[in-house]
Structure 1
Amino acid sequence: MQLKSIISALVLALSVTSCSTVSKLVYRIDVPQGNFLEASKVAQLQTGMNDKQVQYLLGTPMLTDPFGANTWYYVYLEQRGYETPEQHTLTVNFNQRNIVTDFHLDKPLPDDSQVAVNNAIIESQKTEPRRWWKFWQYW
C-alpha cells in the first residue's frame, strides 16, 4: 500500500514537471510598438525639411524633447515570438525655425524589398467546370 502511494506520487510529480521542460510550446504573437519605421520613408528624410513635412512623412513622433520642442524621437520596438526584441530609434533635430538640421538612425532598418509578404497572390489552375453528375472525381 505504501509503495503504491509513493509510485503514484512520483508519476504525478514527473507528469506535472514534464510540461514545464518543453520550451516554446505556447504560441506568442508578434508585438510591434511605437512608430513603424520604413527604410524607404527614412531615406526620403532630408535636412532642410520643416516639421510639417517630417510629420507628414513619418507620422507623429513617439517622444519630443521635454526641455524644448527641437528634438523628435521616433521609436519602433518589435518583439517577434520568442526572439529578442529589436528596437530602432530615429532622432530628428530641428532649429529654432522648425527646420531639420540633422537626423540620426541608431541601426539600419531592414530593407523593404526583403521583407516577407504574406499577401501573395495564388494563381488558380484553369480547370473545366464541375458537373454535379461527376461528383466522385472531385474527392
Structure 2
Amino acid sequence: MHKRSTLLLLTAGLALAGCSPIVATRGNLTDTQRLSEIQPGSTSRDQVQYLLGYPTATGTVDPNVWYYIGRRTEQTAFFQPDVVEQRIVRIRFDGNGTVAALDEIDGNAARAIDPSEATTPTVGHDMSFLEQLVGNLNRPTRKKKDDDKKKGGRR
C-alpha cells in the first residue's frame, strides 16, 4: 500500500511539473530603475550603454536613435506562448552624443506580420526521391576521383 501511494504521488508530481510554463525572455527588457537614471540633456551615449547595454537596434535612417526591445513570454504545454511583458524604449541622441529624448513605445500598436508561404522559384528540374536515389547510384564517388588524381591518370 505504501509503494502504491508513493508511486501515485510521484506520478501526480510529474504531471504537475509538466504543466508549469516555460518562460522565455528575448531581447533586452530594460529595468525601470535604470531607465530612471537616464536624464535627457545630461546623460551621454556611453552612460546609456553602461546602464542598459548595447541597443537591440539602431535607427536605419538616423544612427542617433537607439531601440531597446524586449519581450517575456510564457508557454504552457503545447499552447501558443502568451506575452507576459513587452517593452520598447527609444532613445534619441543629439549631435553631441547626449540624450535628447527618451520615450516608451506601446508594443500593442505594433502590427503582426505573417511570413509569406510562397517559395522562390529556382532554375532546374524538381527531382522526386526515387530520381535522386537512382541518380546517385550512377554518380562516381569522390574517393574514386581523388584516387585518380593522385595516380596522375585520367579517366
Unaligned runs of 5+ in 2: 1-17, 107-155
Q: Distance in 2 between matches of 1:60 and 1:39?
A: 17
**Match of 2:103, SS?**
strand
Q: Distance in 2 between matches of 1:39 and 1:95?
A: 23
Stretches (4+) displaced over 3 A: 25-28
Unaligned runs of 5+ in 1: 1-24, 108-139
Partner of 1:73: 67
Letter in 2 for 1:52: D
Taking structure 1 as the reference length, what is the TM-score of the superposition? 0.54
Deviation at 1:50, TM superposition (A): 1.0
**Match of 1:56, SS?**
helix
Does residue 61 of the first structure (1) align with residue 55 of the second (2)?
yes
Partner of 1:122: none
Between the two proteins, the alignment pairs up a number of residues equal to 83
Q: Which residues of 2 match residues 1-139 of structure 1 at below 5 A?
A: 27-47=20-40, 48-82=42-76, 84-85=82-83, 86-106=85-105
Taking structure 2 as the reference length, what is the TM-score of the superposition? 0.49
* 8 Å Cα contact 2:29/2:86 also seen in 1: no
RMSD (CA atoms): 1.8
Q: Distance in 2 between matches of 1:63 and 1:44?
A: 21
How many percent of aligned residue pairs carry the same amino acid? 25
Deviations 1:8-56, CA, capped at 9 Å, x for gaps: xxxxxxxxxxxxxxxxx65541000111311111111111211000000
